[in-house]
Structure 1
Amino acid sequence: MRPIKICVLEGDGIGPEIVRQAVRVLKAACDARQIALYFNYALLGGAAIDVAGTPLPDATVAQCKASDAVLLGAVGGEKWDSLPSALRPEKGLLGIRSALGLYANLRPATIFPALQSASPLKEEIIRAGVDILVVRELTGDVYFGEHARKQENGYETGYDHMQYSTFEVGRIARNAFELARKRNRRVTSVDKANVLETSRVWRETVTRVSQDYPDVALNHMYVDNAAMQLVRNPAQFDVLVTGNLFGDILSDEASMISGSIGMLASASLGDGTLGLYEPIHGSAPDIAGKGLANPLATILSAAMMLRYSLDLPELADAIEKAVESALDVARTADIRDPALPVYSTDEMGGFVAGKVKELLEK
């Protein structure tokens, strides 16, 4: 197998700490199968602003495009909150997704058996099972529309332009239906078609695409109802597809159902194999450098990288099994259990890396 090239964007806050552990686990997995692995590091977010004066340097885009996959930590922090909107760290994240043509964000939400007690849901709801894949459109919607402020009637008024084309909706819908075919063949499309014209275009397009997938059941749900149903009966969902704004909110809600936002991975994909992999939590600058950060979401993001971009499902399976084993013997501070020791960021990463090596060398 040819050498694998991964571009690493550590980002801000706890980003470098959690990425370091994911790199450690990736090395353990690839070493066990004698696969050559090379890491190139580039700047994104606040770290890039401090060095290059922009949240997304051209050199970073070039390095990402020259790689097989991209591993990202987290961006942002109070240090940069006073900057103009165009220079905020989050602009770097939105920009790299757009520059790489990554329009589909996949966020799985499942509950590891060891974390069932950490979920805020009732036990009878958890017993029914939670295995949701949120497919979020990533490069359109209000996040990429025009943003403006105007003086009207003596008051400052903000404007944010929301829009979707049938092309954008069609490609994310096809992505969702294809993924559903590999799961339980159910797609729930979330919109606000009773109010928004954008959502009416969304619903009509998803319905049209569904005709090419007669083996996959489709239902539509308004976003407010979807938010309620996620906590009332999450077992009803298989693949949930929605726009950028609604997906951002609903996927975070789904993460808490799973016990901790520190456990949820994500993949951002386009039409090729190049993808960007990151945990869905933030940069948590208040705990940076203290060894308190949970690296498991980033490690699970690395497993998604092996599965979706690098076509190494055996290695991905090993990492996911190693994480499950880790939860049986120890926890990080955010998911502590009084019956188990609390591991630091480095200790948890070391345990998972060792377990991966053990599983793959059997």
Structure 2
Amino acid sequence: MKYKIAVFAGDGVGPELIDEGIKVIEKAAELDKFEIEWVKYPHGAEHFSETKESLSNKALKEIKDSCKSVYCGTFDNSKNGNAAENNVSSAIKNYFDQFVSLRPIRLLPNVQSPLNGKTDKEIDFTVIRENTEDFYSGINGRVKNGKNKHQFDLNNSTLKAKFGLNVEAKGGEMAYQIGVLSKKGCERVIKFAFEYAKSKNKKKIAAVDKANMIECYDFWRENVNKVSKGYGDIKCEFEFIDAAVMNFIRQPEKYEVIIAPNMFGDILGDLGTVMQGSLAVAARGNINPGGISMFEPVHGSAPGLKEKGVVNPIATIWAGAMMLDNIGQQKSADLMIKSIEYVLKGGKTMTLDLGGNNSTSEMGDAIKDKFIELHD
């Protein structure tokens, strides 16, 4: 089997991290008898600053027509005023309708969590976030005293709707944000969560919302209940966002899979990353189950550390393992993560952020070598 993968090394430390991910993936491909063809793209904030070339629809269509997945390094979205043309990962996510954010939250050996006394046996779950709707739908604005008329058009893969707001305000300027949930948008991400739990042999899903205060989440609950009926072997419980945040701290071991609307999933995913003890080990996937997905580290581009060879590549390697799992190479993916765990448990190879002095490439080599050692 041969897979063509689009690669965006990105900005800052991204290129050196993606090199380590590719190194481990290519060894996995060699040993597990599949092929990877890397199609490299230069786009990112640094490339835009130098060339004024943004990621075009032509390039995205090329990826759609020829590639199986997208593998990314890091991007500096602070350059040029955070202009949309620099935000490569957002452009990819939107173009390919990657409506699922997949965040594995796992405390790795010899990584210290801020949760005192918690071990790698107690922090191991996945946050699945709806990635396109809710309060991030773009219906927002400000109104001043007097009559204000605002119109919004939503036109995406889940809904087409026009919103007209006539606001007569007194007493000063106001701001508003409107959350939107569609039946299709809810159903598809909830179904993904149950299918994911089934594929990973997980027996519990926590569905998070704030239905006691925000009425549109009753609609979310209706869709969770409807989808859950098709998965009798998986227990589904509802939990309010405030309770979920408290339980993340008090008893994270209770969770296996969490499904949440966009805003609450965003919060829980970032909180989970802190529980892992280091941004340097946190990876994510932006998923379209029937299309092209994207995998990347959670952390930023760290421009001050560029080409110093000191940044931990584990998040990028883990993102690569998630990519392999997504394209059907689960054996390689599982062994890559197992190799990361064994290297950290051994404690001989540790980068600066983990209290060691090994380089980026030395950590990549250690994980690659452990993969070879553990392979059948």
TM-score range, shorter-chain basis? 0.7 to 0.9
Greater strand proportion: 2
Letter in 1 for 2:284: S
Measure the CA separation in 2 of the matches of 1:221 and 1:76.
35
For 1:114, the equivalent position in structure 2 comes to 110
| 8 Å contact kept, 1:111–1:259 | yes
For 2:91, the equivalent position in structure 1 comes to 95
Measure the CA separation in 2 of the matches of 1:307 and 1:83.
32
For 1:290, the equivalent position in structure 2 comes to 308
Of residues 244, 252, 256 in structure 1, which corresponds to 2:262? 244
For 1:266, the equivalent position in structure 2 comes to 284
Offset of residue 34 of structure 1: 4.4
Offset of residue 42 of structure 1: 1.7
Gaps of 5+ in 2: 146-169
- Counting only pairs closer than 5 Å after superposition, residues 28-177 of structure 1 correspond to structure 2 as 28-47=27-46, 49-50=48-49, 53=52, 55-65=54-64, 66-80=66-80, 82-83=81-82, 86-87=84-85, 89-90=86-87, 92-115=88-111, 118-123=112-117, 125-126=118-119, 129-152=122-145, 157-177=174-194
**RMSD across aligned C-alpha pairs, in angstroms?**
2.3
Aligned length: 348
For 2:153, the equivalent position in structure 1 comes to none
| 8 Å contact kept, 2:109–2:120 | no
Offset of residue 149 of structure 1: 4.2
Closer/same/farther in 2, CA of residues 157 and 95 from structure 1, 3 Å limit: farther
Greater helix proportion: 1
| 8 Å contact kept, 1:7–1:63 | no
Letter in 2 for 1:325: Y
Measure the CA separation in 1 of the matches of 2:121 and 2:372.
33
Closer/same/farther in 2, CA of residues 48 and 143 from structure 1, 3 Å limit: farther
Offset of residue 46 of structure 1: 1.6
| 8 Å contact kept, 2:96–2:291 | no
Offset of residue 261 of structure 1: 1.9
Offset of residue 79 of structure 1: 2.7
| 8 Å contact kept, 1:263–1:297 | yes
Letter in 2 for 1:29: A
For 1:187, the equivalent position in structure 2 comes to 205
Measure the CA separation in 2 of the matches of 1:56 and 1:212.
41
Offset of residue 257 of structure 1: 1.3
Residue deviations 1:307-336 (CA, integer Å, cap 9, x gap):
121x11221122112212221222111122
Measure the CA separation in 1 of the matches of 2:352 and 2:175.
40
Offset of residue 184 of structure 1: 2.7
| 8 Å contact kept, 1:8–1:42 | yes
Measure the CA separation in 2 of the matches of 1:144 and 1:15.
29
| 8 Å contact kept, 1:44–1:57 | no
Closer/same/farther in 2, CA of residues 114 and 223 from structure 1, 3 Å limit: same
TM-score normalised to the size of structure 1?
0.88
Q: Secondary structure at the match of 1:143?
A: strand
| 8 Å contact kept, 1:43–1:56 | no
| 8 Å contact kept, 1:77–1:284 | no
| 8 Å contact kept, 1:186–1:216 | yes
For 2:361, the equivalent position in structure 1 comes to 346
For 1:26, the equivalent position in structure 2 comes to 25
Offset of residue 6 of structure 1: 0.7
Q: Secondary structure at the match of 1:220?
A: strand
User: Percent identity of the aligned residues?
Assistant: 32
Closer/same/farther in 2, CA of residues 137 and 51 from structure 1, 3 Å limit: farther
Offset of residue 350 of structure 1: 2.0
Closer/same/farther in 2, CA of residues 47 and 164 from structure 1, 3 Å limit: farther
| 8 Å contact kept, 2:107–2:276 | yes
Offset of residue 83 of structure 1: 4.7
| 8 Å contact kept, 1:103–1:270 | yes
- Counting only pairs closer than 5 Å after superposition, residues 275-354 of structure 1 correspond to structure 2 as 275-309=293-327, 311-327=328-344, 328=346, 329-336=348-355, 341-354=356-369
Offset of residue 43 of structure 1: 4.1
Q: Secondary structure at the match of 1:161?
A: strand
Offset of residue 48 of structure 1: 5.1
Closer/same/farther in 2, CA of residues 346 and 158 from structure 1, 3 Å limit: farther
Closer/same/farther in 2, CA of residues 141 and 288 from structure 1, 3 Å limit: farther
Closer/same/farther in 2, CA of residues 157 and 333 from structure 1, 3 Å limit: farther
| 8 Å contact kept, 1:266–1:277 | yes
Letter in 1 for 2:74: A
Gaps of 5+ in 1: none
